[in-house]
């Protein structure tokens, strides 16, 4: 499987070129901008309700589809980053022995870390995802303890103050829609980390939050093609009608996944609107401070060589150390 492209619409590119007030280094990377598709293709995908085989539901209830849609990532390289970040930023690092992945989904990172001999726990609120994650770990021949739970209210028996590292990837913290939930999540993480242990978070890049486009309802729609044996799919991440509420900082993101036929989007396999709380770096710093952690590393991708203002930066990755 490969991603053939991560795409932005022409309309958004024009908006970027004309009005983006942020320095060039805070804008999307050039490889993202290079792969542009037509406005019509991205903003008017086939309707799910008009498609006979459509099964609108949550993507998290369809783990295989979710896993395919987000399989453009290189999990080996991302696991290497996590190990490197631990060595660089945890106190008394040594070998990475114990890891907890919050909102693990298919647990691809958990599996990779288990392959590198860490003892891994993976927590998710969705039973279908957990069953899928268990199968993936079994297929990879590694042990991952997949646990059902809410990341704002969890307890891993016998592991209080023990974890070397907790990770929460691909914007999963954005499911904590209000401050109370986010603070509860951080409190739980801090309770489970050993002193000097590391919490790694992957979130949206601040350039995407502060370029003003969210307020203009230009919500940064992206699409990418997934090429699987026997079928091609297009993932459409956002539309120009998505709503951002500046008070709650919650973005109502429309996500749809389509089959491809003759180079065009054909059947709609899934469509849903997912609420994502957008976090700023300052909020993460504050949450860390309030729960006995400190920010010790910031990156623009799951890559130790990509700083936040690097031209390839397109994520916010923050490393917090438990005091």
Ligand X SMILES: C[S@@+](CC[C@H](N)C(=O)[O-])C[C@H]1O[C@@H](n2cnc3c(N)ncnc32)[C@H](O)[C@@H]1O
Which residues, in sequence order, are CB contacts of 292 under 8 Å at separation 6+?
190, 322, 323
CB of 16 or CB of 317, closer to ligand X: 317
* 136 binds ligand X, rule: CB under 6 A: no
Segment lying near ligand X (by CB under 6 A), choices 100-108, 218-226, 278-286, 293-301: 100-108
* Cα 251 to chain centroid, rounded: 15
Nearer to ligand X, 26 or 79 (CB): 79
Is 169 near ligand X (CB under 6 A)? yes
In the complex, minimum distance from the CB of residue 154 to ligand X, in angstroms, rounded to a whole number: 8
Please tell me the total number of residues recorded for the chain in this structure: 323
User: Per the structure block, which two tokens stand in for 151?
Assistant: 């990341």
Contact status: 15 vs ligand X (CB under 6 A): no
Among the residues of 93-241, which ranges form H helices?
A: 108-115, 127-140, 179-192, 206-210
Q: CB of residue 78 vs ligand X: minimum separation in angstroms?
A: 8
Among residues 13, 93, 170, 177, the one that binds ligand X under rule CB under 6 A = 170
Q: Are 279 and 174 in contact (CB under 8 A)?
A: yes
Contact residue for ligand X among 150, 252, 266, 283 (CB under 6 A): 150
Q: Is 104 in the site for ligand X (CB under 6 A)?
A: yes
3-state SS assignment for residue 203: strand
Question: Can residue 151 be called a binding residue for ligand X (CB under 6 A)?
Answer: yes
Tokens of residue 153, six digits: 């209210």
Helices 281-290 and 179-192 pack at an angle, to 10 degrees, of 50
Pairing of strands 98-102, 119-124: parallel
> Is residue 125 part of the contact set for ligand X (CB under 6 A)?
yes
Q: How far is it, in rounded angstroms, from Cα 76 to Cα 94?
A: 20
Distance between CA atoms of 36 and 198, rounded to whole angstroms?
Answer: 37
Tell me the window of 1-9, 146-154, 192-200, 215-223 that interacts with ligand X (CB under 6 A): 146-154
CA–CA separation, 228 vs 157, rounded Å? Answer: 39
Q: Residue 206, interface with ligand X (CB under 6 A)?
A: no
Binding mask 220-259 for ligand X (x = CB under 6 A): ----------------------------------------
Q: How far is the CB of 112 from ligand X (least distance, A)?
A: 11
For the bound state, the minimum distance from the C-beta of residue 194 to ligand X, rounded and expressed in Å, comes to 22
Task: Give contact residues for ligand X (rule: CB under 6 A).
Answer: 60, 70, 103-105, 123-126, 129, 150-152, 169-172, 175
């Amino acid at each position: 499987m490969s991603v053939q492209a991560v795409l932005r619409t022409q309309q958004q590119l024009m908006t970027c070129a004309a009005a983006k007030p942020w320095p060039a280094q805070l804008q999307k990377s050039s490889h993202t901008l290079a792969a542009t598709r037509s406005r019509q293709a991205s903003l008017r995908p086939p309707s799910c309700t008009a498609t006979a085989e459509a099964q609108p539901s949550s993507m998290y209830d369809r783990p295989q589809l979710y896993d395919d849609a987000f399989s453009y990532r290189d999990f080996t390289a991302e696991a290497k980053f996590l190990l490197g970040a631990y060595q660089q930023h945890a106190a008394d690092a040594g070998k990475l022995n114990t890891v907890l992945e919050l909102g693990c989904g298919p647990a691809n990172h958990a599996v990779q870390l288990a392959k590198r001999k860490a003892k891994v726990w993976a927590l998710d609120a969705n039973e279908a995802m957990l069953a899928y994650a268990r199968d993936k770990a079994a297929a990879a021949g590694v042990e991952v303890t997949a646990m059902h739970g809410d990341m704002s209210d969890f307890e891993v028996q016998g592991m209080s103050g023990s974890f070397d590292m907790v990770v929460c990837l691909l914007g999963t913290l954005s499911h904590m829609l209000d401050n109370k939930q986010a603070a509860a999540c951080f409190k739980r993480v801090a309770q489970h980390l050993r002193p000097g242990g590391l919490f790694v978070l992957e979130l949206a890049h601040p350039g995407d939050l502060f370029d003003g486009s969210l307020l203009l309802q230009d919500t940064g729609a992206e699409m990418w093609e997934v090429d699987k044996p026997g079928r091609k799919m297009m993932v459409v991440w956002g539309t120009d009608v998505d709503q951002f509420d500046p008070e709650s900082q919650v973005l109502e993101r429309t996500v749809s996944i389509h089959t491809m036929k003759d180079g065009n989007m054909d059947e709609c396999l899934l469509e849903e609107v997912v609420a994502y709380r957008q976090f700023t770096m300052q909020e993460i710093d504050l949450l860390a401070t309030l729960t006995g952690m400190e920010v010790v590393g910031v990156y623009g991708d799951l890559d130790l060589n990509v700083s936040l203002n690097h031209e390839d930066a397109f994520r916010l990755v923050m490393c917090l150390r438990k005091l």
